[in-house]
Structure formats: C-alpha cells, structure tokens
C-alpha cells in the first residue's frame, strides 16, 4: 500500500527579504537518535542502570546534553540520588559519545541538496545546535557539510542555548546579517521559539524529534517537507520581494 505524504499549508514568511538561514542539526540535518541511545546506554551500563531505547530518547532530544542526562536518570534513580550522580553521569556520557559520534547516524533526504540550493541563492548559512560544539563540528565534517556554513554555534558555545535567542542573535552578528532578514529552520519548538524571540521568520521540518510532540503544535511560519523545499520557499519569497531590503 502506498501512502501519500501529508500536505501542509504553504509557508508565508514574515521577513521582507531573506539573506541568511540558521539551521538546526539533530533531527533537522542528521538523524542522531541512535547515537544518543548508544552513548546513553554506555553511560547507564557504568551506572548499573537499566538501558534506554530510541523511543524514550527522542522525547528528550533538543535541549542539550544536561537535559538529556537528567531526563534519562530521572526514572532510574531516586531524585536525590540522580542529582548526586549527575556530574559523574555527564562525564561518562560525553566520553562514551565521543567514541561513537556519527557512527549510528544518517543524513536526512535532500539535506545536502537543500543547503547547496540555499548557498546557490546567495544566502549565508549558520548551524545553531544545542549539541556540544566539538561534536557538532565533527558530525558536519563527517558528512561534508561543514564548508557550507559560515558559523557553527553549539550548546556550550555561549552562556545560553535555544530556546533562548542568544545563539541565534550571535550567529547573525557573526554573519553580519540582521535577524529580521534571517530564517530559522529546525524540527523542534526550541528552534521556533528561539527564532521568533530573535525576530526571525521560522520554518519547521516534520521528520525530526520535537520532544515527542506533534509537529503541528509548533508555532512557525510554516512546515516544509525538506531543506530543499525550504530553499525553494525562500527563493520564491525573495523573487516576490525583489526590491525589499532589510536594514541592519
């Protein structure tokens, strides 16, 4: 039986003209849930705790390593014990994750084509993720995507991470583009919240994690099936606004 992909309302961008895009990593460019699961299970084995699963992990992805660890420890240890073991667990997890970063991942469809189309349309690109910076760099380089980005900001790069707008604003500053001429693209509410708080247009992808919640719960300027479709939406928007210019 052939299933028809769901259709969504056509995105309507709020930007006068788009000159840059800020793109999430986990759940947006790369499916990393199995990496997270493997790293967490390596950690849990050393803590003598019950294994986790991909199904559990995807509900926790997107808010940084600290949130991921706390979420996995919570159902396995009493609250005070989980807090006592947090620092130990985080250190073990980071060591385990470093061993397997990228080993159990896959690139989502049309990611490279979408990024190439965005760059070809003259947009500057930044990757802003809550993943630790060194792991993000390694993953982007593994898939040959790193050269496409002007800026990469990780969850440990600044004092705050998404959904705070700070990393989005920092990316704009580094690219020397105004936030109102930038689109934030991601798979979760954190991406949309951070983008909106920074004054950006937002586009949402439907295939990622979104903390286990339905993609329709995210308030954004629209849902696009792939990054390639996002590139087409942005190109059409810019063609319809040839004279518009965003002031820095």
Closest CA to 111 of 21, 219, 15: 21
Q: Select which of 24, 31, 35, 191 is catalytic.
A: 24
> Does the annotation list 26 as a binding residue?
yes
B/e letters for 160-182, b = 16+ CB within 10 Å, e = fewer, are ebbbbbbbbbbbbeebebbbbbb
Other CB atoms within a 10 A radius of the CB of residue 3 amount to 5
Is the separation of the CB atoms in 209 and 58 below 8 Å? yes
Write the DSSP symbol of residue 77: S
Is the separation of the CB atoms in 8 and 226 below 8 Å? no
CA atoms of 168 and 225, how far apart (whole Å): 23
CA atoms of 63 and 86, how far apart (whole Å): 16
Q: Which bin fits 93, alpha (ψ -120 to 50), beta or left (φ > 0)? A: alpha
Q: Note if 156 is an active site residue.
A: no
> Does the annotation list 156 as a binding residue?
no
Closest CA to 162 of 191, 184, 186: 191
Q: Which residues are annotated as a binding site for Mg(2+)?
A: 24, 26, 187
Positions marked catalytic: 24
Q: Which residues are annotated as a binding site?
A: 24, 26, 187
């Amino acid at each position: 039986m052939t299933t028809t992909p769901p259709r969504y309302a056509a995105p309507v961008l709020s930007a006068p003209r788009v000159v840059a895009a800020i793109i999430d990593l986990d759940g947006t460019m790369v499916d990393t849930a199995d990496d997270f699961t493997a790293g967490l299970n390596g950690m849990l084995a050393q803590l003598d705790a019950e294994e986790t699963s991909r199904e559990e992990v995807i509900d926790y992805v997107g808010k940084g390593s600290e949130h991921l660890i706390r979420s996995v420890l919570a159902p396995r240890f009493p609250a005070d014990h989980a807090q006592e073991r947090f620092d130990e667990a985080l250190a073990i997890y980071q060591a385990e994750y470093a061993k397997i970063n990228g080993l159990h991942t896959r690139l989502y469809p049309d990611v490279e084509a979408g990024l190439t189309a965005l760059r070809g349309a003259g947009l500057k690109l930044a990757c802003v993720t809550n993943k630790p910076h060194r792991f993000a760099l390694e993953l982007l380089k593994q898939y040959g995507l790193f050269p496409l980005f002007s800026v990469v900001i990780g969850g440990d790069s600044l004092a705050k991470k998404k959904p705070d707008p700070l990393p989005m604003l920092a990316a704009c500053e580094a690219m020397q583009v105004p936030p109102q001429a930038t689109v934030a693209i991601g798979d979760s509410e954190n991406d949309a919240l951070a983008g909106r708080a920074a004054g950006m247009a937002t586009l949402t992808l439907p295939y990622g994690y979104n903390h286990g919640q339905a993609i329709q719960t995210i308030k954004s300027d629209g849902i696009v099936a792939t990054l390639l479709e996002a590139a087409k939406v942005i190109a059409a928007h810019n063609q319809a606004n040839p004279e518009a210019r965003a002031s820095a």
